[in-house]
Amino acid sequence: MNLTTLKKSFLSWLAPRRPGVDRDPWVGLCVGCQFGPIGSAIYLRSLADGVFLLALLITMWSVLGVESVYLAWIFGGGWTFGRIAETKRWLRKQTHEPSEPEIVLPAPTASAT
């Protein structure tokens, strides 16, 4: 592994442009709620998201107390779900894939009675 490959790999982990491209949002919700910021960072493959959630956890803990850790864990799951869902929505828009099937009705005809 040369230095250029290592640098690209690190930068893609630091802050990927679209995290969670091939991931399921519901699994991301469960992983984020179960394992917190570290689980979210690993599942999204994004160090920036993990640092953000960890900073949020520490801030909530210092301001609101130990009980707020549970809220931070739930927020981490929601954050992971939202990031993956937004990535999938963006990809669907880029590929022009319809989100819902279109129902095409026949055109009305004029009948003389």
pLDDT 10s digits, 18-75: 677 788 889 989 998 899 888 888 888 888 888 888 998 888 888 888 888 888 888 8
Q: What is the pTM of this model?
A: 0.68
**In 3D, which of 6, 27, 9 has the Cα closest to residue 88?**
27
Name the region of 19 (left: φ>0; alpha: ψ -120 to 50; beta: rest).
Answer: beta
pLDDT (0 to 100) of residue 17:
66
